[in-house]
Structure 1
């Protein structure tokens, strides 16, 4: 049987409770009871409920950032890299659908320093994504008549909308959805012949 750490047990319990009854309605005591640990054990890893909510998102964002940085570092045409970046963020957002749903529903309840940290890290991610787009524009793959910020916001709006409709029990796999949304996005920003 696979051994899990106390931190993993606590985080899994917190995620389940935040999803079922909401962040505001969940107490630290409920989390430690569901995880089967003591408060002392929980506080060894997480100083507060605020830390738990941040950690729910941190795992997803760290993974997505690592993936994007690895993609961006490759010496390949921008259209290849941007397509892969789009597919990756959609697939990983589906893999972490519950975490994303819980986090975005409750992010406004994070402490100010934590909200600032999330904003900083999300901006850094979007800047790397926008740099791939800019590279593709310079290489002639993508249209330049729409500001990059608008294009990036358009793509991530689709990503953030996933929890409202995607279901793993649905007719399409995450790979199919990622390919379809990516194709639609890239077709919309493809460079247009002059005239």
Structure 2
């Protein structure tokens, strides 16, 4: 007979994901163990294996949960009626606000994704790709004469925007909503007008 699912299963799963993300980010994925995750969660090692069969399955669930929600939030933004520069600003603000409180999940992407099986990597990279394509379409529409025939320049521009946003946590991890909003607006203006426009 299969073991019944506890009523608080989903809440415990979310707790495990958040604690494990912090542990993996702080210690490094290779050095963190399932025993340490269980201890930090306040549960037994045996209990954590009721949720995840291995450290890799736990890592994948952390990143899949984070990136799928992030991609849906960014690509699902209502942009109708906005001019392309305003669309860009809206997406940049939303992206940086989406990172708030998720620094650990965000940090472990770089180390974690290459360690997973290829099929799982494809799933996670598809979320990232969807966000890049979404922003690329907006950037292209702002200056079609610049980007339509030069996909490498378009990609370099879009990845530079994400680069400015993705490393924000390193020097501003404790900042709140307002500071993120201000920085997102700076990145938007810098992208649209260059330094002279600031």
With the length of structure 1 as denominator, give the TM-score of the two structures. Answer: 0.77
> What is the CA–CA distance in structure 1 between the aligned matches of 2:44 and 2:13, rounded to whole Å?
12
Question: Which position in structure 1 is the counterpart of 2:136?
Answer: 130
1:76–1:36 Cα change, 3 Å? same
Name structure 2 gaps, 5 residues minimum. 1-7
With the length of structure 2 as denominator, give the TM-score of the two structures. Answer: 0.76
Deviations along 1:17-57, one digit per CA (max 9) or x if unpaired, are 21232111111122122212345543444332122222333
Divergent runs of 4+, >6 A = none
- Kindly report which structure 2 residues correspond to 1:1-195, keeping only aligned pairs within 5 A, or say none: 5-39=11-45, 41-71=47-77, 74-138=80-144, 143-144=146-147, 147-168=153-174, 173-188=179-194
RMSD over aligned CA atoms reads: 2.9
Question: Which position in structure 2 is the counterpart of 1:192?
Answer: none
Name structure 1 gaps, 5 residues minimum. 189-195
Q: Give the length in aligned residue pairs.
A: 183
Question: Which position in structure 2 is the counterpart of 1:193?
Answer: none
1:53 touches 1:103 (CA, 8 Å); kept in 2? no
1:13 touches 1:34 (CA, 8 Å); kept in 2? yes
> What is the CA–CA distance in structure 2 between the aligned matches of 1:135 and 1:43, rounded to whole Å?
49
Is 85-94 or 31-40 further displaced after alignment? 31-40
